[in-house]
Structure 1
């Protein structure tokens, strides 16, 4: 018998028989989750509280933005001639510029003017907060000495000139200036612990620092960490984001996330300045090489000019001759023009020879602008300038990529092509200049013959004056070229420019407060939802009447609520309860199931013991007895009888006694103590219950019982456990298979299906016993409605006695 407590009545007036797996009941699903509303409230509240605290105490992260405009070089008249050959490229390679801005070496250059190596912190509410600018202490690090980096150190100010230094967080390593890209770990984590004086040098094998008091008060605690420049540069280069503002533009947006807005702005501004300074330095390399070449030429000319100037003055003084004759002046002027032309040609030849030497050695950093050659050669100027720019691009690329990178291979190909064309032009220019020098020399030799006809004194004066005038002209020429080169260098400026300086966002990008609250709400709803869904998915107990309706072809008659009494006689003891009404409804359904029979045999069974078949059999018999029908309750569970104890009877004589000793069954019938209800107990437990049921005497007994009573209720053993129940189905008109709420396995449906299909048992139905429901929501259509209406209007009377009262009453 199933013992039911906390009486919750149900009235299910109409049985259902449809099996609709496709039916979707949204209301039932919602009500399933609403039963656990407290879980949702607690989960949502906890997650929203966590999101609120996270938003409040998380260090905000801001994004700093700056923009750089990439401009194209203005092409000259020769650019179009060689663009098809890949020798001249005025287009901006945006991807290269992006990688240059993200390069480690540019980040290192930007850090040179920033004191980012030491980071200072104060104690916050939940974590340490960073200080930038106006720090209470100032730490000076000697980076030429080995230095501890990483970890976290604490400074506790003891007095105005004294402090305690100790390691707060481990994870330190040692930076070695001789090998800056590889830090070594250190085992001794107490190298700094101790008391020190402010402004004193702290030196050991792993560090060399000075800590100065910049306004810290006694008792104040300041934390700091030290980072080496290579590690900082690598981290900042990785953190920097560079992307095109628009696909059709050549404007790059630089962004960096930082917890300190001013610190991020300073770094980004320095980075953009370093980018432009690097570009300008690359442009100035050609001018610097030209200036150096001219200065080297001038150093020799200056000495020669001074020597011949002194000699000319001395010769005029000694020989008292100051001017040439008319004939000598004419010859001298002609000779001087040719000598100046030859001197300039020789300078150009030296330039081209040196240029060819650089090209052969591939020393492109030493290339000079061809303006020094004083030749109108736009092609040569373009080729040299383009080769210098290509070499600069290669230098920047190789700082980030290996030689196998396609971009590096492409620029190497362009450099080689440009070098070949330039070499051919240089060789051609050298041949032309040598031919010109030879021609000028021949003309000079012709004039020398005329000079030999002049008087000796005048001839010697002309020779000295000739040497002085040539050196003076070359000196003036070189000075002019030097000024031009210096002006060119001074007028150089980066082709790219800064459009917008670094500026931080007004609101933080992390944490996103509104989004975090939404996420907290979502997680708060999702966690209990997933738990409940998982719990329901792995739940193999029948906990919903709809499951029986949808997953079986056997007609489902209805549900029996959970009773509050401590015995099975609910209908007899509490005729106005909801459970009693459930059995009355079930009795009404019987008239539809067997409409033409005045005498009915109803069989109750289940899959396993404990599902409440005896409880249902007793109360079904009781509800018929109350209606005036003559009823007998048969205890056919010969293995585990329970009816006797529910009625306070002694199970000494019963069906097993009748069948084994061939007694008259009428002698074994016992009164239940209630009108119209008799009981035929199972009797003593026999060793062979299945064989007893198979006797002909049992068939005869059942026939006689049917004749003697209007209603016969058969309490049979679980069909899923024993075999004799299958033999009892042939005596019944209606067979009721009992499931128990949250007790019976869902797989027991297969047992019922098997009885109908394999055993060909007709008139088999199912009910759900011991059903419990939450009054706050009902249970959807018929279930919740029936109970709620009856209870509110006094149709049902429930036993509200608590367990202690019931215990005292029992005693």
Structure 2
């Protein structure tokens, strides 16, 4: 028994009306794609060849790498007290700061300016151009204080040793304005530029227009050589290199930063990173030197005021000694002088400290910027004050770095600004306290000096005057020596300054390019060559509204799919009669065998064929189904009931002069319109002339009477009915048939037509109706033969069961259609 065929005792097929589960048959899905294997193979070959050509002609990209060791900052003396006080400076990430500096725009801009990269040179290759760098054949000197065309390409062709021709290769230019370097506009008209009006120039000649100012010098170019030149402004280059540069720690615990950049020119990448690291260390050293320079400037300011006083007091001392013939103090005067000198030295040092506190206080109150002088430079040993000043200087330097990369509203900038404000507040409180303490110490020293000064009155006047002059000289001399000492210390500190960070490895390009990735590209090409056709096939099948897969048809209709009829390659309307050993004939024999299980009628059988629309092959199936019964020896008659568009007469080569419409519209007996098909046991009643009211004719009681009489005269009666999806009378004919068949055509019938059949069963109450798939020619996968006589193994010529009809030539098929 065949699949989907009801048992002999089941006369009501409503038991079959259950929703079929949607199942995915992977084997069928695989064979559905394998039928397109030539297309898939062709795309895979194209994908691999395309990937090979891409690998062959794309510009290789190299990765240039270097490394920098970032030293952790040593905490300043007293910083532990500062952090324990809760001032919020702990936890600052030194690594992240250094990454921000290395990727800053200002550092990239300074590096590019040092390397002079604003002119790019290219040389034409077979397919692509290659960039030249170092050992250039020509040099283009650009005046960047003048407006310039940037972004596009100039072509320079060497004419001879003295001249060259310049032209536009790529006119994607913008105008760079040195007064507004970050904004570039498009030039209005390129064709009117004097450069294009005069295209031949001499080497060394200044080429100048509204948007150009440069000259070309020949180094080693030969006549006939061609080069492409692009002018690129520093801001554009800096932004580009900044984006391309990658800076990251080698791991989470390490303080080593890995710098890398990918470039088609290895030497350019190496020189850029090396210069970048050089500028980076120079920036760090300059920051350290600024503190020493600020200290030296502060001391110089103090020395400028004390040097004149020292010279004046020295001259006065010499004159007094000469005029009064006195050179040394008495023993008592020397003791008083030593005590007084010691106190006055202490007073001068305290005054310098007081002046520093006052200067620092003014700095904090005015909220001004600038470099801070460390207290330890001028002899102040307060650890907390030194820590606060150093911390504030670091935070301010950090804020400058952050602002060069982020806006004022960035979280990092705002957080650092909050730290600066907190540190300033704590420093101001500490400064005010130190300022008051210093004033008290200075007042105490001055009181002690006044007490000693009272002892001076006991000395003779000459000695007393000498003591005063020598005292003034000693004060100035001590201050001057003290300042010179501090200045020397600051200069030594500046000379000994070294960057705390260290270059571990200078830039070096890899031996092999990182792009194109040849193996990966070949794999991608192969995968794309596989995916593209499979995707196309999948989308095509998804958007296809025609019935192609018998499995899908079986799942969509709510009646059994009883059989499939293969494509009639001979284009003969009667393959069963004219080629009884063909595969198509076998499919009708298989369908005839199924009738044993579909109907209890053994001697008399009435079969009805219909479809959704015209062209689905119901007439072809009707004729050949009647033919297969006639070959069996059954007395068979085929009745054409499609009164609107008759086709049976044309297939049999009979005149459609009389038929069923003649009987129904007149008193003509049905026996008189029966015509012989030309084959034994096979008669035909044609539809006859097309009437004006076909539906009304078929609904007459006379028609039912005629059919009943025909059934008594023939063993098998076959109805060729009009499409039920287009006309209404077919619905009334189902009651006259023992078995009804609904014909679908592969690749022609719409998927929505299955709903017409389902409605007939669910709403129309039609029973004993089955589905047939006609014109089966698209193989949707191995195993879909179902035993219906097509594709189950019978059709292969190698088995020797059937003879396939030779298809007609194309010109005969064309004439046959006409």
Residue 13 of structure 1 contacts residue 586 of structure 1 at CA under 8 Å; is this kept in 2?
A: no
Alignment map for 1:351-430 (pairs within 5 Å): 351-430=356-435
2:265 aligned with 1:257, yes or no?
A: no
String of CA shifts for 1:575-611, please: whole Å, max 9, x gaps: 1111111111111121222245212122222222222
2:551 aligned with 1:550, yes or no?
A: no
CA distance in 1, matches of 2:530, 2:814: 43
> Match for 1:715 among 713, 717, 720?
720
2:560 aligned with 1:559, yes or no?
A: no
CA distance in 1, matches of 2:447, 2:691: 148
2:199 aligned with 1:192, yes or no?
A: no
Report the counterpart of residue 34 of structure 2 in structure 1: 34
Report the counterpart of residue 64 of structure 2 in structure 1: 64
> How far has the Cα of 1:475 moved from its partner?
2.5
Residue 5 of structure 2 contacts residue 597 of structure 2 at CA under 8 Å; is this kept in 1?
A: no
Report the counterpart of residue 162 of structure 2 in structure 1: 161
Alignment map for 1:653-692 (pairs within 5 Å): 653-692=658-697
**TM-score computed with the length of structure 1 as normaliser:** 0.91
CA distance in 2, matches of 1:340, 1:807: 126
String of CA shifts for 1:416-473, please: whole Å, max 9, x gaps: 3322332333333333333333333344344444444444554444444433333333
Residue 76 of structure 2 contacts residue 390 of structure 2 at CA under 8 Å; is this kept in 1?
A: no
SS in 1 for 2:793: helix
Report the counterpart of residue 792 of structure 2 in structure 1: 785
CA distance in 1, matches of 2:214, 2:691: 98
Report the counterpart of residue 292 of structure 1 in structure 2: 297
Alignment map for 1:309-708 (pairs within 5 Å): 309-317=314-322, 319-708=324-713
C-alpha distance 356-566 of structure 1, shift in aligned 2 (>3 A): closer
C-alpha distance 195-20 of structure 1, shift in aligned 2 (>3 A): same
Task: Say how many residue pairs are matched.
Answer: 800
SS in 2 for 1:376: coil
- Structure 1 stretch displaced more, 683-692 or 784-793: 784-793
String of CA shifts for 1:299-338, please: whole Å, max 9, x gaps: 3333343444445445545555444443443333333223
Gaps of 5+ in 2: 7-15
Report the counterpart of residue 770 of structure 1 in structure 2: 775
> How far has the Cα of 1:220 moved from its partner?
0.9
CA distance in 2, matches of 1:245, 1:325: 75
Residue 46 of structure 1 contacts residue 524 of structure 1 at CA under 8 Å; is this kept in 2?
A: yes
SS in 2 for 1:717: coil
Report the counterpart of residue 53 of structure 1 in structure 2: 53
Residue 55 of structure 2 contacts residue 521 of structure 2 at CA under 8 Å; is this kept in 1?
A: yes
CA distance in 2, matches of 1:88, 1:755: 84
C-alpha distance 454-158 of structure 1, shift in aligned 2 (>3 A): same
Alignment map for 1:104-119 (pairs within 5 Å): 104-119=105-120
Report the counterpart of residue 174 of structure 2 in structure 1: 173
Report the counterpart of residue 216 of structure 1 in structure 2: 221
Residue 651 of structure 1 contacts residue 684 of structure 1 at CA under 8 Å; is this kept in 2?
A: yes
SS in 2 for 1:43: helix
CA distance in 2, matches of 1:196, 1:348: 69
SS in 2 for 1:678: strand
String of CA shifts for 1:742-773, please: whole Å, max 9, x gaps: 22222222222233333333321221222214
C-alpha distance 657-283 of structure 1, shift in aligned 2 (>3 A): same
Alignment map for 1:242-253 (pairs within 5 Å): 242-253=247-258
> Match for 2:802 among 782, 785, 795?
795
C-alpha distance 351-725 of structure 1, shift in aligned 2 (>3 A): closer
SS in 2 for 1:618: helix
String of CA shifts for 1:128-166, please: whole Å, max 9, x gaps: 221111111112223333333322212111111211122
- Structure 1 stretch displaced more, 86-95 or 515-524: 86-95
**TM-score computed with the length of structure 2 as normaliser:** 0.90
- Structure 1 stretch displaced more, 417-426 or 712-721: 417-426
String of CA shifts for 1:473-513, please: whole Å, max 9, x gaps: 32222221112112222333344444444344444444333
Residue 583 of structure 2 contacts residue 795 of structure 2 at CA under 8 Å; is this kept in 1?
A: no
String of CA shifts for 1:341-372, please: whole Å, max 9, x gaps: 22222332332332223223233424212134
- Structure 1 stretch displaced more, 15-24 or 697-706: 15-24
C-alpha distance 103-695 of structure 1, shift in aligned 2 (>3 A): same
String of CA shifts for 1:233-282, please: whole Å, max 9, x gaps: 23323333344443444444443332323322322233333333323322
CA distance in 1, matches of 2:676, 2:785: 41
Residue 175 of structure 2 contacts residue 187 of structure 2 at CA under 8 Å; is this kept in 1?
A: yes
CA distance in 2, matches of 1:470, 1:463: 11
CA distance in 2, matches of 1:298, 1:357: 21
Report the counterpart of residue 13 of structure 2 in structure 1: none
SS in 2 for 1:604: strand
CA distance in 2, matches of 1:386, 1:310: 46
C-alpha distance 437-706 of structure 1, shift in aligned 2 (>3 A): closer
RMSD (Å), alpha carbons = 3.0
CA distance in 1, matches of 2:99, 2:180: 28
> How far has the Cα of 1:107 moved from its partner?
1.9
Report the counterpart of residue 142 of structure 2 in structure 1: 141
> How far has the Cα of 1:729 moved from its partner?
2.3
C-alpha distance 165-448 of structure 1, shift in aligned 2 (>3 A): same
C-alpha distance 704-253 of structure 1, shift in aligned 2 (>3 A): same
Report the counterpart of residue 22 of structure 1 in structure 2: 22
2:746 aligned with 1:741, yes or no?
A: yes
String of CA shifts for 1:207-245, please: whole Å, max 9, x gaps: 332322121111111111122222322332333334444
Report the counterpart of residue 152 of structure 1 in structure 2: 153
- Structure 1 stretch displaced more, 469-478 or 501-510: 501-510
Report the counterpart of residue 285 of structure 2 in structure 1: 280
CA distance in 2, matches of 1:624, 1:47: 56
C-alpha distance 365-779 of structure 1, shift in aligned 2 (>3 A): same
